[in-house]
């Protein structure tokens, strides 16, 4: 098994190249370069060093993954003919995907890899921008930058910002978090005689000239809590502070029980915002619901019972476990099969066959009666306790109406209440057959009533009279006006 020796060309010119790496390159009979677009290569060429580069491979593919895979395949194939040296920019173990692929093949016993020296661009870059890495930093790939990987309280070094397209993608991702005028630095050929450091506002990143494969982006850490309100960690810190020794007296005295009413209230306000299709209101109310979740999690942590990380782990593992058609090999054809799989997996998680405990015991716990009726019926229908079609459900409605009408003659408040409940329960069953969520339907009607009655109220107010000055017929005419004006 022949050996692939991997060395780094450093971050700048030939003067920065370690002597051992220089000698290895000069003495190599078979030398491959990931790219010839590097300051050292001009000097090596002038000294008569022969090599083969993979620049043409980049032109053949649309995805970097395909480029790296082909480079790896070629190197492995060439290594079968004899030992070779593979030179990459910077250090072999810093931001080099092809090196990681080769090391993976070595672990599988398919090739022999030796990693030589090289100088990383990181040290030179920190010197160029005058920053200290001990303050914490992240090294990220500009070609695959993800919003969720960014920590604003740390310095960012984003490599491979080598052209306008990548710079534009990086800019758009960063501007999801940072202000458009946030000052960043573009560093090219750090530490070499050709070094360039340009300070620019983030919004101008993709307009910068001179981007190359030696260009990296430096983003300073955000200082102060106000600049990082968009980060989960900042919210976590705020909630912890509010509940801490020097926090808010009200927040510190809250318990799971005392917060229950606020969670219900905020949830219904969110539902109202959704019904109104008010995006700004939805954002605000989602935040209020999230606040309740964070407060409950912080109380759990303060009491030593659980942490927010455990809450997140529980829901994340559940989502992966119950979506084997997404995260596993199970195949489904439609949403109904997804629901069936969900219920099956849920039953297995509960540890047994049906009948182990009452089926409805934990169904819609703590929910309003209308939602609970809907969930009870849906659960019963899954085991066949259901009308074959909507006609049976409608017949039950008429039956309950007659029983209510009959009970009216007896003037029993308790009996009337029970029969009226039966009517509502039967109507919920009808809604289920037509795939109508009754709580949502009633909420829509409440909203419609609110808007139309507000119209009536405005008509009364503009008249200069009081409600008592109008007959029911006159008020009803205002209502019909609202209806005819399509006020919903």
- Residue-level pLDDT at 351: 67
CATH of residue 155: 3.30.950.10
Beta 52-53 vs 31-33: how paired, if at all?
parallel
Whether 218 shows a pLDDT value over 60: the answer reads yes
* Residue 359 maps to a domain: no
Q: How many CB atoms lie within 10 A of CB 409?
A: 7
- Residue-level pLDDT at 120: 81
Please, which pLDDT band fits residue 193 given cuts at 50, 70 and 90? confident
- Residue-level pLDDT at 422: 94
Per-residue pLDDT tens over the stretch 140-155: 999 899 999 999 999 9
Residue pair 198/185 in contact by the 8 Å Cβ criterion: yes
Whether 358 shows a pLDDT value over 80: the answer reads no
**Shared-domain flag, residues 107 and 34:** yes
Average pLDDT estimate for 258-274: 90
Average pLDDT estimate for 362-373: 81
* Residue 144 maps to a domain: yes
**Shared-domain flag, residues 177 and 198:** yes
**Shared-domain flag, residues 453 and 431:** no
Whether 324 shows a pLDDT value over 50: the answer reads yes
Per-residue pLDDT tens over the stretch 20-35: 899 999 999 999 999 9
Domain count, the chain: 5
At which of 68, 99, 119 does a domain end? 119
- Residue-level pLDDT at 414: 87
Top-confidence residue, 202 or 342: 202
Please, which pLDDT band fits residue 355 given cuts at 50, 70 and 90? very low
* Residue 318 maps to a domain: no
**Shared-domain flag, residues 101 and 43:** yes
- Residue-level pLDDT at 304: 95
Please, which pLDDT band fits residue 424 given cuts at 50, 70 and 90? very high
Per-residue pLDDT tens over the stretch 428-482: 999 999 999 998 888 888 888 989 999 999 999 999 999 999 999 999 999 999 9
* Residue 347 maps to a domain: no
- Residue-level pLDDT at 357: 67
**Shared-domain flag, residues 418 and 380:** yes
Among 27-36, 44-53, 289-298, 381-390, name the one with the lowest average pLDDT.
Answer: 381-390
**Shared-domain flag, residues 37 and 114:** yes
d(CA 58, CA 356): 61
d(CA 337, CA 325): 10
Q: What is the pTM of this model?
A: 0.69
* Residue 317 maps to a domain: no
Bridge partners for 155 per DSSP: 137
Q: Of the spans 209-223, 241-255, 364-378, which averages the highest pLDDT?
A: 241-255
Top-confidence residue, 340 or 253: 253
Mean pLDDT of all residues in the chain? 90
What distance, in Å, lies between the first and last C-alpha atoms of the chain? 77
* Residue 449 maps to a domain: yes
CATH of residue 115: 3.40.1010.10
- For the sheet with 52-53, list strands across it: 52-53, 31-33, 84-88, 3-8, 112-115
Q: Annotate 49-86 with b (16+ C-beta within 10 A) or e (fewer).
A: bebebbeebbeeeeeeeebbbbbbeebbebbeeeebbb
**At residue 340, what are phi and psi to the nearest 5 degrees?**
-65, -45
**Shared-domain flag, residues 80 and 148:** no
Bridge partners for 219 per DSSP: 156
Whether 2 shows a pLDDT value over 90: the answer reads no
Residues 6+ apart with CB under 8 A from 225: 234, 237, 238
**Shared-domain flag, residues 162 and 252:** no
d(CA 488, CA 486): 6
* Residue 353 maps to a domain: no
By percentage, how much of the chain surpasses pLDDT 70? 98
Domain that holds residue 157: 122-219
- Residue-level pLDDT at 298: 97
**Shared-domain flag, residues 465 and 423:** no
Whether 352 shows a pLDDT value over 60: the answer reads no
Among 305-309, 340-344, 430-434, name the one with the lowest average pLDDT.
Answer: 340-344
**Shared-domain flag, residues 155 and 85:** no
Per-residue pLDDT tens over the stretch 101-145: 999 999 998 899 999 888 888 888 999 999 999 999 999 999 899
Per-residue pLDDT tens over the stretch 70-88: 999 999 999 999 999 999 9
Per-residue pLDDT tens over the stretch 169-180: 999 999 999 999
* Residue 373 maps to a domain: yes
**Shared-domain flag, residues 86 and 34:** yes
CATH of residue 291: 1.10.287.1080
At which of 99, 119, 139 does a domain end? 119
**Shared-domain flag, residues 431 and 469:** no
At which of 61, 87, 119 does a domain end? 119
d(CA 158, CA 185): 10
């Amino acid at each position: 098994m022949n050996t692939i020796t991997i060395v780094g060309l450093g971050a700048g010119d030939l003067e920065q190249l370690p002597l051992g790496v220089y000698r290895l390159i000069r003495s190599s009979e078979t030398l491959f370069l990931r790219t010839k677009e590097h300051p050292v290569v001009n000097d090596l060429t002038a000294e008569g060093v022969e090599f083969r580069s993979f620049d043409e491979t980049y032109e053949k593919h649309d995805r970097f993954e395909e480029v790296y895979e082909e480079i790896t395949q070629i190197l492995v194939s060439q290594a079968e003919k004899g030992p070779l040296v593979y030179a990459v920019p910077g250090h072999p173990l810093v931001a080099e995907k092809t090196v990681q692929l080769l090391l993976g093949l070595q672990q599988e016993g398919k090739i022999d890899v030796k990693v030589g020296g090289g100088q990383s661009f990181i040290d030179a870059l920190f010197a160029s921008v005058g920053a200290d890495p001990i303050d914490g930093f992240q090294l990220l790939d500009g070609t695959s930058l993800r919003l969720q990987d960014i920590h604003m309280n740390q310095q960012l070094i984003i490599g491979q910002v080598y052209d306008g397209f990548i710079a534009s993608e990086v800019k758009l991702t960063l501007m999801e978090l940072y202000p458009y005028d946030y000052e960043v630095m573009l560093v090219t050929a750090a530490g070499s005689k050709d070094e360039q450091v340009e300070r620019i506002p983030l919004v101008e990143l993709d307009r910068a000239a001179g981007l190359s494969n030696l260009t990296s982006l430096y983003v300073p850490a955000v200082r102060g809590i106000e600049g990082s309100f968009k980060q989960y960690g900042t919210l976590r810190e705020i909630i912890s502070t509010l509940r801490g020794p020097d926090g808010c007296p009200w927040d510190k005295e809250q318990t799971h029980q005392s917060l229950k009413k606020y969670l219900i209230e905020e949830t219904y306000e969110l539902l109202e915002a959704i019904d109104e299709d008010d995006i700004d209101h939805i954002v605000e109310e989602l935040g209020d619901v999230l606040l309740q979740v964070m407060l409950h999690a912080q109380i759990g942590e303060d009491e030593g019972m659980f942490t927010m990380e455990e809450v997140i782990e529980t829901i994340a593992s559940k989502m992966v476990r119950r979506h084997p058609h997404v995260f596993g090999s199970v195949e489904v054809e439609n949403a109904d099969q997804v629901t069936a799989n969900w219920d099956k997996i849920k039953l297995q998680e509960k540890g047994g066959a049906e009948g182990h405990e009452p089926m409805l015991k934990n169904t819609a716990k703590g929910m309003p009666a209308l939602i609970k009726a809907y969930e009870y019926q849906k659960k019963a229908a899954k085991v066949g306790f259901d009308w074959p079609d909507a006609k049976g459900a409608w017949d039950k409605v008429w039956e309950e109406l007659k029983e209510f009408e009959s009970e009216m003659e007896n003037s029993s408040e308790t009996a009337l209440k029970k029969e009226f409940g039966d009517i509502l329960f039967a109507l919920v069953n009808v809604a289920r057959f037509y795939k109508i969520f009754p709580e949502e339907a009633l909420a829509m009607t409440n909203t419609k009533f609110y808007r139309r009655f507000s119209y009536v109220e405005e008509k009364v107010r503009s008249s200069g009279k009081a409600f008592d000055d109008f007959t029911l017929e006159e008020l009803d005419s205002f209502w019909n006006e609202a209806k005819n004006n399509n006020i919903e």
